């Protein structure tokens, strides 16, 4: 899980990629074409293609080719896994510390 988590978090490691990912999350399960993402984010098409490839490689975006169009979607299960990974030990040390302080 550490390797997958590192890849996912790394994929989101820029302001532009976070902007793209948030745009796809807002779009929901239907996803968006590259042109729609570009219109909503203002990111140049060549740069956007690079960011989408990076997000897809990190497992947080999936791309589906339909004819000549590519639909991009947020991978909600993977995003949930990443959130769970980072929060799974939330406050574990604080509970132990509070018990030891008492």
44-67: pLDDT as tens digits: 989 999 999 999 999 999 999 999
Question: What pLDDT is recorded for position 63?
Answer: 97
Question: What pLDDT is recorded for position 62?
Answer: 98
Model pTM score: 0.86
Average pLDDT, the chain: 93
Phi (first) and psi of residue 72, to 5 degrees: -110, 135
**Mean per-residue pLDDT for 22-37?**
97
Does 95 score more than 90 pLDDT?
A: no
3-class DSSP assignment, residue 76: helix
In the chain, where do the E strands start and end?
Answer: 32-33, 61-66, 69-74
CB atoms within 10 A of CB 64: 10
Does 102 score more than 60 pLDDT?
A: no
Phi (first) and psi of residue 75, to 5 degrees: -90, 90
> What burial letters (b/e) apply to 43-54, b meaning 16+ CB within 10 Å?
beeeebeebbeb
Q: What does CATH list as the number for 2-101?
A: 1.10.10.10
């Amino acid at each position: 899980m550490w390797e997958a988590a590192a890849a996912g978090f790394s994929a989101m490691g820029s302001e532009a990629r976070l902007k793209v990912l948030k745009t796809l999350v807002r779009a929901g399960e239907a996803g968006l074409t590259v042109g729609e993402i570009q219109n909503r984010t203002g990111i140049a098409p060549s740069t956007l293609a690079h960011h989408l490839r990076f997000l897809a490689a990190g497992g947080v975006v999936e791309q589906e080719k339909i004819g000549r169009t590519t639909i991009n979607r947020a991978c909600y299960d993977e995003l949930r896994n990443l959130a769970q990974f980072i929060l799974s030990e939330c406050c574990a040390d604080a509970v132990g510390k509070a018990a030891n302080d008492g």
